[in-house]
Amino acid sequence: MAVQQKYDFIIIGGGIFGVYAAIYLAGHRQRVCLIEKEAGMMLKASTVNQARLHGGYHYPRSVSTALMSDENKARFTEDHKPFIHFGFEQYYAIDEFNSFTDGVQFERFCNFIGIPCKPVSQHPLINFGRIESLYVTQEYSFDPVLINQYYRSKLKACSNVRICLNTRPVAAQAAGGGWEVEILNTAEGTRERISAGQVINATYAGSNAINDLFGVRNIELMHEISEIALVSSPQLGDRIGLTIMDGPFASMMPYGKSGLLSLSSVAYTHHKVSYEASPAFVCQQINLDCQPEYLANCNYCVAKPASNQKKMVAQIRQYLEDEVELNYFGSLFTIKSKLMANYIDDGRPTEIAVLNDNPRFYCIFAGKINSIYEIEKVVDLG
Ligand SMILES: Cc1cc2nc3c(=O)[nH]c(=O)nc-3n(C[C@H](O)[C@H](O)[C@H](O)COP(=O)(O)OP(=O)(O)OC[C@H]3O[C@@H](n4cnc5c(N)ncnc54)[C@H](O)[C@@H]3O)c2cc1C
């Protein structure tokens, strides 16, 4: 099959990292083809996350992640102001029992990386019987749904970006100083051959399947089917966030500007784990449209795990006073991937690896949403 279209860049993966990269490159006069497997963009980790605009507090065991959070936070906040919920109180608490940290250590850590953290000795809605110490901090929540809409309209305005939805690459080879890629539109059953000087793999959980297809090395990942539960609360509204540090605990915070609170839990958010290079789960034996090489959207999957929402609600309830009601609204599921290197320190760096020099092939592995700008540091604009 002959090459039909030529581009400067092919970007595989239309999550926020692929979309941001496409807009950035288009702004630098690059011709881009953005390939997304699903019928819409940003429907996986870019929407299914806790929406925490990380200030660094969450990573007392990974100073590098904490510092990277801080480095990107100011710019992300400025660029996405209308989509950020600034007006809530964000508390971090140390559990009375079995915490990997304590108040002294947490304060020292915050002072070390220069993030505000003020001890609080009472709060009418928080159960001091269960916590060793409580801090009010400065951290915000972004709205993934509004951010999704914003970037989709920005992308529409980029005349030099072609967007291919319902599409995935099925063959790839280095040729003529660039890459030739065969793409399959699964909705229409059509195939096409395209080429580009450089390729960016922004497929997150799908990273290694694409790396294999291009014959480049894998990055070491582990994967978890994850659930974020959404609740509403008449007493808390969307005015309070509470994260219990540091160990097998829980977190609750406003899900952007939705008016809901998102719950996540170290023990209950992650349903199933895969240590394979590409996510392999038993549910893929039921849903044959989801395989390690081409993952489906867990939210629409008939074989997704039963919700852990009751356990998540019960867990966070322990840290709240009895009068606080938490009413379950629904859950979002996706595959969360992590670098194996951060298994111990719990860090979530964003790493962009050049896995092939000539022709260029980049693999973005994103730890946090506010690090979308990292692509600007490495990409070759010719
Ligand atoms: C449960 C959870 C909680 C999180 N909490 C936070 C948080 O509070 N704050 C924060 O900053 N970050 C958080 N994160 C991390 C953050 O969500 C991710 O780092 C970020 O969304 C990754 O974006 P992405 O664009 O790389 O991936 P995605 O949004 O997953 O996008 C990848 C895209 O690639 C597509 N794709 C995959 N394979 C192929 C293929 N073969 N062909 C074509 N397309 C393909 C997918 O369909 C998808 O649209 C969380 C993540 C999870 C899962």
User: From the alpha carbon of 337, which atom of ligand 1 is closest?
Assistant: 53
pLDDT number for residue 100: 85
The answer on pLDDT for 140 being more than 70 is yes
Q: Which of 33, 140, 135 is nearest to 91 (CA)?
A: 135
Looking at residue 68, its pLDDT comes to 63
The residue nearest atom 4 of ligand 1, judged by CA position, is: 49
Q: Which residue has the tokens 């400067």?
A: 8
Protein residue with least CA distance to atom 16, ligand 1: 368
Q: Residue 324 Cα, ligand 1 centroid: separation in angstroms?
A: 32
What pTM value is reported for the model? 0.95
Q: Quick count: other Cβ atoms within 10 Å of Cβ 180? A: 20
Q: How many angstroms is it from 224 CA to the middle of ligand 1?
A: 12
Closest ligand 1 atom to residue 350 Cα is 19
Per-residue pLDDT of 154-176, as tens digits, reads 999 999 999 999 999 999 999 99
Query: Range of 77's domain?
Result: 5-378
Q: How many domains is the chain built from?
A: 1
| pLDDT tens digits, 321-359 | 999 999 999 999 999 999 988 766 566 678 999 999 999
Q: Distance from the CA of 35 to the center of ligand 1, in angstroms? A: 15
pLDDT at 228: 98
Asked whether 200 lines ligand 1 (CB < 6 A), one says no
Binding site membership of 184 for ligand 1 (Cβ less than 6 Å): no
Looking at the chain, the number of H-run helices and the number of E-run strands are 7, 20
- Which residue, judged by its Cα, is nearest atom 9 of ligand 1? 52
How do residues 174-227 score in pLDDT, each as one tens digit? 999 999 999 999 999 999 999 999 999 999 999 999 999 999 999 999 999 999
Distance of CA 349 to the CA centre of its chain: 11
Q: Is 52 in the pocket of ligand 1 (CB under 6 A)?
A: yes
Ligand 1, atom 50: closest residue by C-alpha: 49
Q: Token digits for 27?
A: 């702004």
Q: What is the CATH number of the domain that holds 186?
A: 3.50.50.60
Atom of ligand 1 nearest to the CA of 294: 41
Q: Which H or E element spans position 22? A: helix 16-27
Residue nearest to atom 17 of ligand 1 (CA): 45
Per the DSSP assignment, residues forming a β-bridge with 231 are 261, 328
- Does the beta carbon of 12 lie inside 6 Å of ligand 1? yes
User: How far does residue 18's CA lie from ligand 1's centre (Å)?
Assistant: 10
Q: Is the CB of 253 under 6 A from ligand 1?
A: no
Position 101 scores a pLDDT of 86
